[in-house]
Amino acid sequence: MTFKTNSDSADRSRDKPSEDVQNDDSQHGNGDLVVVANRLPVHRSCPESPWETSPGGLVSALMPILREHHGVWIGWAGSLEAASDPFSHEGLFNVPVPISPDEVENYYEGFSNSSLWPLYHDACQPPHYHRHWWNPYVKVNRRFAERTAECAAPNARVLVQDYHLQLVPGMLRELRPDLRIGFFLHIPFPPVELFAQLPWRQQILEGLLGADVVGFQTRAGAQNFIRLVNRYTSHRGVGQAIMVGQRHVQAREFPISIDFDRFEQLAQDPAIIDRAEEIRAEVGEHRTILLGVDRLDYTKGIDLRLRAVDELLKSDRHTVNDLALVQVSVPSRESVDEYVEVRSRIEELVGQINGAHGEVGQMPVHYLRRNLPIEELVANYLAADVMLVTPFRDGMNLVAKEYIACRLHDTGVLVLSEFTGAARELDRAVLVNPHDIDGMASAIERAITMTKTEQARRIRSMRQKIRRRTVFDWANDFLGAVDAASSFSMTAGGGTRDTS
Ligand code: F6P
């Protein structure tokens, strides 16, 4: 490992990096700022290929801060990789955590994605609970915590990400009381009635309470957490603060966002504008283009969205000649049964709708099951008249924000599920209940017929909001809160840190 530490002492000096890993200290993160996430911010198609930075808002938001602080990112290198040594890539020090094939099945596909994921998304698929998934979850969380304890400099700030690693803050605090720890949950945090099902509810809550700041996408998520702490632990939370021994833990919302300027710039790129025109011409200039872009996940409500479009095509108001849906579905978690089932359900529906309403050379649903390069994604955002974002539950949903950021001419309409975190900020979207097929069909109709003046009023107001608070503000706010909350705990007498 890169750094050895003595967790008993807060004023220990940093050991030298081990020689088998790196000799050049300038290539190391110094561990003053550590991000811990299930996945590293890089991927490669096979162990012989070079690493590439993964796309996505979280990575682009944290990379500049980590580079500035010579930080470290600790995470899993993906299922193709066995253990590999720490390495630098594009100025960031990556520390891989090995996860065995059995652990992928039980910790990742099992407890993370078949217990927690459905439970936290309103149990829109029944969550499964198995003790043989829980134990590997604990074991892998411990491995992440130990790796972090080894890498973090004295008094370092550690930002732990998401539902895979909810035990890490508690484990890390025991190993390294000197650290300042933030935890951020990217997905929704469920209400008491649902979370109460979890056989290991108390362990999860205690795990999260190891952090100085527990961050959520929405205020409702933070409030659910505080209610649960009051109900199922011996700690007491009032407002946003929870007393854990002598420590104050802060629980509050930090709504995540996008790199607004990047999308705005891409939307002005002449090659992307040409490609958008090409898409419009291919689909049919005279047709209204509806667009859906989602990971192929049962929480995204793609099936009911398709049925709402089917309703419109069955009505006497629309035919395949005036309406088309482009549905981009990005493959995801394909070894989990529910993901296989939702894919067949969606693909069967696409076939039925195209069979019932299509003509030779003209289909109502253009279904793409693949990940699009960002340029092609933006070209689709530019080509679409109406963006459909209709998950049954979603922590935030950045696709909604990306669409709005790309609409430079203030045209277009966003139809948005009221059960997304984004709906709090994007309240000028046409809000829908994604379980109500007729309601969604009417909302899409309203979007199609909305006047240009009304479109402009709505898009302008939403663009301003997104521009004002980007993913970089999110990262700064969260980091700032970790600093502020931990110094507050120290003045309250709870600190064991070396403040010299
Ligand atoms: O939204 C939660 C999340 O874990 C994202 O961070 C990630 O991009 C997505 O789900 C897919 O996750 P994975 O492929 O790691 O299961």
Q: How many angstroms does the Cα of residue 85 sit away from the middle of ligand 1? A: 24
Does the C-beta of 40 come closer than 6 Å to ligand 1?
no
**Confidence at residue 84, expressed as pLDDT on a 0 to 100 scale:** 78
pLDDT at 421 > cutoff 50: yes
**Confidence at residue 287, expressed as pLDDT on a 0 to 100 scale:** 98
H/E stretch holding 42 reads strand 42-43
Is the domain of 89 the same as that of 40?
Answer: yes
**Confidence at residue 489, expressed as pLDDT on a 0 to 100 scale:** 55
In a domain, 498, yes or no: no
**pLDDT band, very low/low/confident/very high, at 145 (cuts 50, 70, 90):** very high
Is the domain of 480 the same as that of 445?
Answer: no
Structural domain harbouring 449:
260-468
Average confidence (pLDDT) over 115-129: 97
In a domain, 232, yes or no: yes
Atom of ligand 1 at shortest range from CA of 164: 4
In a domain, 500, yes or no: no
In a domain, 139, yes or no: yes
| Cβ contacts of 234 within 8 Å, gap of 6 or more | none
Q: How many angstroms does the Cα of residue 433 sit away from the middle of ligand 1? A: 24
Is the domain of 272 the same as that of 406?
Answer: yes
Does the C-beta of 187 come closer than 6 Å to ligand 1?
yes
**Confidence at residue 82, expressed as pLDDT on a 0 to 100 scale:** 66
Is the domain of 334 the same as that of 345?
Answer: yes
Does the C-beta of 394 come closer than 6 Å to ligand 1?
no
And the tokens for 335?
């070894």
In a domain, 435, yes or no: yes
**Confidence at residue 346, expressed as pLDDT on a 0 to 100 scale:** 98
72 φ/ψ angles, rounded to the nearest 5 degrees:
-125, 140
pLDDT at 498 > cutoff 90: no
In a domain, 476, yes or no: yes
Q: What percent of the chain has pLDDT over 70?
A: 90
Is the domain of 215 the same as that of 360?
Answer: no
Which residue, judged by its Cα, is nearest atom 5 of ligand 1? 186
Average confidence (pLDDT) over 111-123: 98
Q: CA angle 129-172-10, nearest 5°?
A: 170
Mean pLDDT of all residues in the chain? 90
And the tokens for 204?
């999860």
**Confidence at residue 80, expressed as pLDDT on a 0 to 100 scale:** 67
Instruction: Give the CATH number of the domain where residue 225 resides.
Output: 3.40.50.2000
Is the domain of 362 the same as that of 442?
Answer: yes
Does the C-beta of 206 come closer than 6 Å to ligand 1?
no
Is the domain of 16 the same as that of 158?
Answer: yes
pLDDT at 14 > cutoff 80: no
Q: Say how many domains are in the chain.
A: 2
Q: How many angstroms does the Cα of residue 332 sit away from the middle of ligand 1? A: 9
Model-level pTM?
A: 0.91
Tens-place pLDDT, residues 327-344 = 999 999 999 999 999 999
Q: How many angstroms does the Cα of residue 6 sit away from the middle of ligand 1? A: 34
Does the C-beta of 39 come closer than 6 Å to ligand 1?
yes
| C-beta of residue 150 within 8 angstroms of C-beta of residue 3 | yes
Is the domain of 170 the same as that of 59?
Answer: yes
Mutate to test the pocket of ligand 1, among 38, 161, 216, 398 (most ligand atoms within 8 A of CB): 38
Is the domain of 428 the same as that of 480?
Answer: no
In a domain, 496, yes or no: no
Tens-place pLDDT, residues 60-108 = 778 888 888 879 999 999 876 666 789 999 888 999 999 999 999 999 9
**CA nearest neighbour of 167 among 135, 205, 113, 195:** 205
In a domain, 28, yes or no: yes
**Confidence at residue 8, expressed as pLDDT on a 0 to 100 scale:** 28
Which residue, judged by its Cα, is nearest atom 8 of ligand 1? 56
Is the domain of 63 the same as that of 95?
Answer: yes
Q: How many angstroms does the Cα of residue 459 sit away from the middle of ligand 1? A: 28
Is the domain of 331 the same as that of 205?
Answer: no
Is the domain of 222 the same as that of 244?
Answer: yes
